[in-house]
Amino acid sequence: MICEQILIAFPILAYLISYLYLAWYHQKLFLFNTIIHENGTYTLLQTMFYASHFLGHVPVHTVLAFVFTGAYICFTDFTAEKYLKTRVHMLFILLIIFLILSILISLTVFGHGDTFAFIFQQKQNIGVYARGGAWNLHLPSTLLLFFFMPVYILGIKKLFKRNIDVHGKGLPYIIMGISFFLLFTVFLNGTIVDVFLSTWKDPRYLAHSVRELMTFPVTYFPLPVYFILRGTESNGISEARRTKKWLRYGIVFLTVAFLTGFLYQSYIPLSEGIGNLAQKPSFARNGRLGLPYLLASHFFEHFLDTIYFTLLCLLLYGLALQRLYHRQKTRE
């Protein structure tokens, strides 16, 4: 039987392999004071705690956390689910403390200008200012993750042989997430169609999207799933209690849609040349950064983001279980 602890191995290995690659690239074993950011500005330690950058990503990760948690709930058989032992109010307090510390780090280390530029979605990266900021930069990846997350969750639950049921208890979270996604896009851009068309044609946006799509499955998603699975027991069942054809067809559709979008987003930047699209810091060999370097440094840039995403998913899941628990008590 596969143990859920393997989920923790994914982010650990991702960071370890990335660190070893960066150490080889820079010919240094101790990297924390070494500039590794693709812009050639920040050290590894500054990249990991790039708080202003993280704060600019809070709206994106909030949307994804709502949809991810909602999708997980929709595939969960709550008759076999234990009440989350970690108290909801403790998760809420941890989340608030984490956000406050991030704001303080951002203002102290990266300055007021950088902090507010990211928060108000005016900045996408170091030296890159654009309308819609990080939100627009993540539109292509966010849309594809909507297709990918249900497939990922169902695959994980089958892999670890957890009870699977199909119902609509998680739909409120999914609807809230997608509604905020659409409303915030209109709020920042005044339109949806035009901004989607422009971002899906721009090689720089698509190249960034591919990196996001290669980051989430190994550093973001495994963490909340691990903590949720840790409170449940495997019963050797990997099939849904109510297997329906529409579910199988739906998963096939989502998988095909995701893979088609991913291949398209990969093809456009590759045809333009990744080296031509990437930034060119002074330490880049032959004046260009390759895909392995861009991916390795990217993992560390989203260190704070994974903590926020995990805490919010666990909070949302805990609230859902708490409501279910109180309903059952009321009926009894």
pLDDT of residue 47: 95
Yes or no: say if 14 and 292 are a contact pair by the CB < 8 Å rule. no
Q: Which has more pLDDT, 87 or 306?
A: 306
pTM: 0.92
Mean pLDDT of the chain: 88
Percent of the chain at pLDDT > 70 equals: 88
Max avg pLDDT among 118-127, 177-186, 263-272:
177-186
Percentage, residues of the chain above pLDDT 90: 65
Residue 300 domain-assigned (yes or no): yes
Alpha-carbon torsion (71, 73, 77, 80), positive or negative: positive
When divided into structural domains, the chain yields a total of 1
DSSP E strands in the chain: the ranges are 123-125, 128-129
Residues with Cβ within 8 Å of residue 248, at least 6 apart in sequence:
none
Classify residue 67 by burial, with Cβ atoms within 10 Å: 0-12, 13-18, 19+. Answer: buried
Q: Are 61 and 312 in contact (CB under 8 A)?
A: yes
Other Cβ atoms closer than 10 A to 26: 15
pLDDT at 240 over 50: no
Q: 266 lies in a domain?
A: yes
In a domain, 255, yes or no: yes
d(CA 120, CA 132): 8
pLDDT higher for 251 or 163? 251
> Tell me, what's the pLDDT at 238?
45
pLDDT at 204 over 60: yes
- Determine the pLDDT at residue 79: 61
SS3 37: coil
CA angle 132/117/136 to nearest 5° reads 15
218 lies in which domain range?
6-331
Collapsed DSSP state (helix, strand, coil) of residue 123: strand
Least-confidence region, from 64-68, 165-169, 242-246, 324-328:
242-246
How far, in Å, CA of 93 to CA of 99, rounded? 10
Q: What is the pLDDT of residues 91-100, one digit of tens each?
A: 999 999 999 9
pLDDT band at residue 328 under the 50/70/90 scheme: low
CA–CA separation, 41 and 177 (whole Å): 34
1 in any annotated domain: no
Q: Is residue 252 assigned to a domain?
A: yes
Residue with tokens 């930034």, as numbered in its chain: 279
